Structure 1
């Protein structure tokens, strides 16, 4: 049974819709009968329809990938006339490419994107479709689904939650004499020093791809900023807070200290995310700042076998409040162009209806932590982590609350901090300047 997102009459949308910015690919064009040029293609027939899906680059594994393999295959089995072409790009190229495609009228039919203000410009430009009436939306935790809402309308189907975390080598910790996880910033520094003194590189980082800088920065910022002021981000918009406030300068400085003390692998600016992950797996460093989304890539064995664990960097001082990261992960957004909505509706309903083969494959292969009613995560490391911090305050990915562009500025200038050409104050001034530019 197909669903409709607006009131319908004879297959035509009667509700007011925004101007379309997307155009179908040549392979998806339908015959123009002149009878109704706005009517979506009828995929109930045998006519071939090709849908374009964009996702960030998938981790390399020996198993079939849900987006690259299972989704196109299972949809094809269910609907032989619907083809899904998947394009994947690294995160640092992905955002710009998606925006450029929409600006040129060639936006993807559906795609993954981030929550909060990261999606605001796409919504305001009319590029994405209101999914408020999607029948299965009520099956997702409301607080997560609402992370993709603007002016009371939901613009995405949430794929789950995730958290930024620190993966660590338990064997390396034991060798360095570390018997328990750090509970505050000084204890974390002590761990790094013990590892270094034992001849073990404490941390690896793929800073060549600047977006990974967020993985450590936001873990540190969680306690450093939001323990004292959970409303810091909303107050940015009223002028009550600024990125140049002491809590943000301290956050950036604490992160910079890890590099300046020699706790981060040499030439991190020459390593990609994948190379850094491999360095961790090969035992070349004891820790890596990453996330639950890196589970498939980091749970496997490299050149050296060792037991792995995960914890959140505690940037709090001794006796002070600890805050960890837990955030909505990506959601599925849909192009507002109506030419292929019938096919997209079928795919989404098949995907997110409990009990279908596609739903079962999604829930058993996803790296996200499910926010779908009745679906529990079976990964022991994930369950252990969430149980450990269940009584602590959590905070979303910090950039979810900022206009797009502020986090890019932060990461770019912090690369200069790593190379010794900028300071923590420079990072915060740059963020503040970009924020003012985007909100004035």
Structure 2
């Protein structure tokens, strides 16, 4: 991976450490074919049929609805015998109900999964057709789509590439005298002190939403843990929340208490975004996927990214956190796989992926994409940096993941690291033993 060149201008150095519930009907509404929802992964992918009929595209990104509608319009102008309906659910609903709905044949000729637990469950249920031998796979950056493979089979294609690490307001940081990203934990705390002294909130953190609060967890454990598969080993019982490395992490959460906004464990993501967009906070402690929302809220300052390095600089294995998300796949139960695959191929064309990326302010995994969006261009350097795939998505059991991440929230809320770790481990032990 590329490293930041030495002797950069101060603003450039900060940029390189970061970045400068409805169903939408595109045409006639129809569900996928009525095949069985069992393990049909051995049936292969039927791509040689006629490209016609109704296609259901199931996903959770309501904010991408219009960009997808524009792409669908372009696709159906090329294939007038096809109609495509976006079936959009809120992300929480999608996580809990999509498998049953897709398996039942109600939605999703083309569908997506969250990486980690949901993808594993959908593969186990036989929902994903095998894409390994199709032409479309070669259009992607091979090292960015591993989240869509299992046991050597490419079941899905992660479409977005995001960075689950704090987004920074470069103007606020410079006004506080911070011109370089901290290289170690002492530097991170010193940065927070400088921002606090300048009258700003160092870190706007949505600690009231465990799903968004957990993005910080990724960076806090990435260099502390004894191995990169730390969350999988917590789930297997090989590692415990009462281990020294995890207690160290919880102790560092305690050190961050003075640097969050008031009532951090009761703050949802929208107020945190607003605080950051209004220039009241130096960092939005979520990820690159919220940059577009910041712009929509009126934020006009240059943005960057930086992740807390919790160890001495010479012991840091990773600079930040990345994740390949929104795993596209064709439903094995679909009676219209040819049209669904053709639309997947259309989305995978670099020109169309460029339209999606710039229209949604999201990096993508398709090769040869050009980023015209200023924030994407400023952060594209991170695609080549030394990042760890978000470890929280190693958890397959969401109760175990929530227990580990809740320990961090509890510490910020005032619990001692020992107390929070013991409580989390009790929950995890019960899940492992059940």
Q: TM-score scaled by structure 2?
A: 0.77
Q: CA deviation at 1:389?
A: 9.2
Q: Which residue of 2 aligns with 1:222?
A: 222
Alpha carbons of 1:424 and 1:296: their partners in 2 closer, same or farther (altered >3 Å)? farther
Q: CA deviation at 1:217?
A: 1.3
Larger Rg: 1
Gaps of 5+ in 2: 1-27, 35-42
Q: Which residue of 2 aligns with 1:321?
A: 316
- Is 1:342 the counterpart of 2:335 in the alignment? no
Q: Which residue of 2 aligns with 1:361?
A: 355
Q: Which residue of 2 aligns with 1:72?
A: 72
Q: Which residue of 2 aligns with 1:8?
A: none
Q: CA deviation at 1:183?
A: 1.5
Tell me the SS of whatever aligns to 2:60. strand
Q: Which of the pair is proportionally richer in helix?
A: 2
Q: CA deviation at 1:156?
A: 0.4
Q: Distance between the aligned counterparts of 1:274 and 1:264, measured in 2? A: 15
Q: Distance between the aligned counterparts of 2:430 and 2:151, measured in 1? A: 23
Q: Which residue of 2 aligns with 1:49?
A: 54
Q: Distance between the aligned counterparts of 2:119 and 2:418, measured in 1? A: 28
Tell me the SS of whatever aligns to 1:207. coil
Alpha carbons of 1:93 and 1:273: their partners in 2 closer, same or farther (altered >3 Å)? farther
Q: Distance between the aligned counterparts of 2:30 and 2:100, measured in 1? A: 21
- Is 1:264 the counterpart of 2:260 in the alignment? yes
Q: CA deviation at 1:299?
A: 4.4
Please list every run of at least 4 consecutive aligned residues from structure 1 whose deviation after the TM superposition is greater than 6 angstroms.
38-43
Alpha carbons of 1:76 and 1:320: their partners in 2 closer, same or farther (altered >3 Å)? same
**Residue deviations 1:355-405 (CA, integer Å, cap 9, x gap):** 5xx4452354354433333335455655555647956x4211102322141
Q: Distance between the aligned counterparts of 1:45 and 1:117, measured in 2? A: 32
The 5 A counterparts of 1:155-304 are: 155-225=155-225, 228-233=226-231, 235=233, 240-258=238-256, 260-261=257-258, 263-299=259-295, 302=298
Alpha carbons of 1:298 and 1:435: their partners in 2 closer, same or farther (altered >3 Å)? farther
C-alpha root-mean-square deviation of aligned residues, in Å? 3.6
Alpha carbons of 1:315 and 1:421: their partners in 2 closer, same or farther (altered >3 Å)? closer
Q: CA deviation at 1:280?
A: 0.6
Q: Judge conservation of contact 1:56–1:94 (CA < 8 Å) in 2.
A: no
Moved more, 273-282 or 101-110: 101-110
Q: Judge conservation of contact 1:314–1:322 (CA < 8 Å) in 2.
A: no
Aligned length, in residue pairs: 396
